[in-house]
């Protein structure tokens, strides 16, 4: 599946070096990548990054590569690769190469590619495009602080003369932690960004940045450039926070003789208050006694959102077609997508609008799909609902039509999966619906109970007819009869329509619960 790219030819490379930013030739396979670092769950911003990359690949019939950037030993979180993979699958964003998929350009874990990096590192060292730097972290820190105090900014001063390779290796042998820095060329660098246009940084703004850490691991910049080249990545779509990195990457590509991929730096997603969406927000909210906001994809999954809605919503964060259509399936997105229409402005993540998208998707998703999603929701939250079979769950879906999230659905029908004796009555509901007006609700409930007892066919239709009759004979509104029953059997004022509610529960359990409820009075 991996055709050899014409970019391998000198001509291709040259074309890239001209900075003309050619679109890949028609014959060239478009290859994009998503490269998360395994520090936790998949962030919602990361989801949009992979979505846009995925769309570019799918649209062009290209290849989606998943690469794990695990070069930071300290921040590595156990299990997070599996968690990221799992949420990606849930979203339906598949990858053609990477963990569990294999591919011709592996390994796809950077921690397993150290030999490769070392080889190119050596090449740079020997060609004089990189050099060993002997400062300790402490020394650098001091320099930085001093510079900050004096003129606000710090730029690593290139040693003169540069330490030789021999000096560097000797220092290493003596047990010193030595880093490698890239020797930046004395020339301006222009990055051609397909979203933002040309961005030029002048030579005096560069510093010799670190490409190999003291522990021997490459830094992000180096590993990323080497891997993108070796994995034949043609398009790099990433967050705008990487814009300033791309000049370093271009410098590295030139030093190594690699082509420069097509770059696109996407706008960033923020909270409604303009702050960064961070998993720390959750801890903060909990400390403040508030419900934690959804930040990672998994949070939305647990909260009962549909992947279809999330994908649709985040696709429209920083991208639009120009027409009024707002509802898109993944296939429709693939059809409609184009990099040219990605915007430049940062977006705020409006959960209220996501909720509206979710409501919409819950109503339009085919039943079988919705059922599958509901089962995932039940499993992930370990809900008693899991015991229900598909027919039952489908009925619940229908009974709750119009629900916003699965969490709302759960709230509405959770009472079905509780033992009759374990029903808890919401005091507010009891007061408002049953106790008010000298226990009017209780008295209606008692009357209804007798009627229900003698009802032979305990179905939605017959129950509704019964309630309607009672309604007429007592000359009262439906609500005055339905609500007391609803509270009696569910404990709360919210449930499906009253006929549906009782039929789902069944005659025996309905009567049990009404009895239990009437006992409150005693």
Tokens of 164: 């030789």
Q: Kindly list the strands in the beta sheet with 63-66, ordered across the sheet, starting from the edge strand earlier in the chain.
A: 63-66, 31-34, 235-239, 262-266, 189-193, 197-201
Least Å distance between CB 307 and RNA? 18
Does the protein bind RNA through residue 203 (CB under 7 A)?
no
Residues 494-513 interacting with RNA (rule: CB under 7 A): 494-499
Pick between residue 28 and residue 223 the one whose CB is nearest to RNA. Answer: 223
Least Å distance between CB 353 and RNA? 4
Instruction: Residue 70: name the closest of 182, 233, 219 by CA.
Output: 219
x/- site string to RNA, residues 446 to 475, per CB under 7 A? ------------------x-----------
The runs of H, that is alpha helices, within 257-399 are 280-287, 297-302, 307-315, 330-336, 351-364, 367-380, 390-399
Residues binding RNA: number (CB under 7 A): 89
Least Å distance between CB 27 and RNA? 28
Pick between residue 9 and residue 82 the one whose CB is nearest to RNA. Answer: 82
CA 172, CA 179: separation in Å to the nearest integer? Answer: 9
Q: Which of 89, 155, 280, 428 binds RNA (CB under 7 A)?
A: 155
Does the protein bind RNA through residue 214 (CB under 7 A)?
yes
Tokens of 439: 């226990």
Least Å distance between CB 349 and RNA? 7
Is 279 catalytic? The answer is yes
Contacts of 150 (CB under 8 A, 6+ apart): none
Q: Is there a contact between 43 and 297 (Cβ–Cβ < 8 Å)?
A: yes
Q: Which of 403, 406, 442, 458 binds RNA (CB under 7 A)?
A: 403
Does the protein bind RNA through residue 372 (CB under 7 A)?
no
Pick between residue 28 and residue 297 the one whose CB is nearest to RNA. Answer: 297
Least Å distance between CB 249 and RNA? 10
CA 250, CA 257: separation in Å to the nearest integer? Answer: 10
Does the protein bind RNA through residue 428 (CB under 7 A)?
no
Q: Which of 227, 228, 308, 408 binds RNA (CB under 7 A)?
A: 408
Pick between residue 176 and residue 386 the one whose CB is nearest to RNA. Answer: 176
> Residue 193: beta bridge partners?
197, 263
Which one of 172, 279, 411, 516 is the catalytic residue? 279
Pick between residue 28 and residue 309 the one whose CB is nearest to RNA. Answer: 309
Does the protein bind RNA through residue 37 (CB under 7 A)?
yes
Residues 379-398 interacting with RNA (rule: CB under 7 A): none
Tokens of 291: 């419900």
Look up residue 454 and give its DSSP letter: T
Q: Kindly list the strands in the beta sheet with 210-212, ordered across the sheet, starting from the edge strand earlier in the chain.
A: 130-133, 179-182, 210-212
Least Å distance between CB 331 and RNA? 20
DSSP per-residue codes, 6-31: GGGSHHHHHHHHTT--PPPPTTSPPE
Residues 262-281 interacting with RNA (rule: CB under 7 A): 267-268, 270, 272, 274-276
- DSSP run (H or E) holding 200: strand 197-201
Contacts of 511 (CB under 8 A, 6+ apart): 449, 452, 453
Q: Which of 20, 345, 437, 473 binds RNA (CB under 7 A)?
A: 345
Which residues are tagged catalytic? 279
């Amino acid at each position: 599946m991996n055709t050899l790219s014409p970019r391998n030819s000198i001509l291709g490379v040259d074309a890239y070096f001209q900075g003309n930013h050619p679109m890949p030739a028609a014959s060239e396979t478009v290859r994009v990548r998503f490269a998360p670092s395994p520090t936790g769950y998949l962030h919602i911003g990361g989801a949009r990054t992979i979505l846009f990359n995925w769309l570019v690949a799918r649209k062009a019939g290209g290849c989606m590569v998943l690469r794990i950037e695990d070069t930071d030993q300290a921040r590595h979180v156990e299990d997070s690769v599996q968690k990221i993979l799992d949420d990606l699958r849930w979203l339906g964003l598949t990858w053609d190469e990477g963990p569990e998929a294999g591919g011709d350009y592996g390994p796809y874990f950077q921690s397993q590619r150290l030999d490769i990096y070392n080889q190119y590192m050596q090449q740079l060292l020997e060609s004089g495009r990189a050099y060993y730097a002997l400062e300790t972290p402490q020394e650098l820190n001091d320099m930085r602080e001093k510079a900050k105090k004096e003129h606000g900014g710090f730029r690593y001063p290139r040693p003169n003369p540069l330490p030789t390779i021999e000096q560097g290796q000797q220092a290493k042998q003596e047990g010193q932690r030595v880093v490698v820095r890239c020797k930046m060329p004395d020339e301006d660098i222009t990055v051609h960004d397909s979203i933002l246009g040309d961005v030029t940084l002048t030579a005096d703004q560069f510093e010799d940045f670190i490409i190999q850490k003291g522990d021997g691991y490459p830094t992000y910049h180096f590993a990323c450039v080497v891997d993108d080249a070796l994995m034949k990545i043609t398009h790099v779509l990433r967050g705008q926070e990487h814009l300033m990195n791309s000049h370093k990457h271009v410098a590295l590509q030139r030093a190594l003789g690699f082509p420069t991929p097509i770059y696109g730096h996407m706008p960033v997603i923020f909270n409604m208050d303009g702050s960064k969406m961070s998993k720390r927000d959750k801890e903060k909210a909990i400390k403040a006694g508030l419900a934690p906001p959804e930040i990672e994809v998994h949070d939305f999954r647990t909260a009962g959102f549909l992947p279809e809605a999330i994908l649709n919503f985040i696709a429209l964060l920083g991208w639009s077609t120009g027409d009024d259509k707002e509802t898109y399936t993944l296939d429709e997105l693939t059809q409609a997508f184009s990099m040219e229409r990605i915007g430049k402005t940062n977006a705020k993540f409006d959960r209220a609008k996501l909720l509206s998208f979710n409501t919409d998707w819950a109503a339009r998703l085919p039943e079988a799909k919705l059922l599958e999603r509901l089962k995932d929701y039940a499993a992930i939250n370990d809900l008693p609902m899991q015991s229900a079979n598909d027919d039952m769950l489908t009925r619940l879906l229908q009974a709750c039509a119009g629900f916003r999230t699965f969490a709302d659905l759960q709230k509405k029908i959770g009472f079905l999966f509780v033992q009759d004796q374990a029903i808890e009555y919401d005091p507010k509901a009891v007061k408002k619906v049953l106790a008010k007006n000298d226990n009017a609700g209780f008295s209606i409930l008692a009357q209804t109970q007798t009627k229900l007892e003698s009802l032979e066919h305990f179905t939605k239709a017959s129950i509704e007819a019964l309630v309607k009759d009672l309604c007429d004979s007592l000359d009262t509104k439906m609500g005055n009869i339905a609500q007391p029953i609803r509270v009696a059997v569910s404990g709360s004022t919210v449930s499906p329509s009253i006929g549906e509610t009782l039929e789902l529960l069944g005659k025996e359990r309905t009567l049990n619960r009404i009895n239990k409820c009437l006992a409150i009075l005693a």
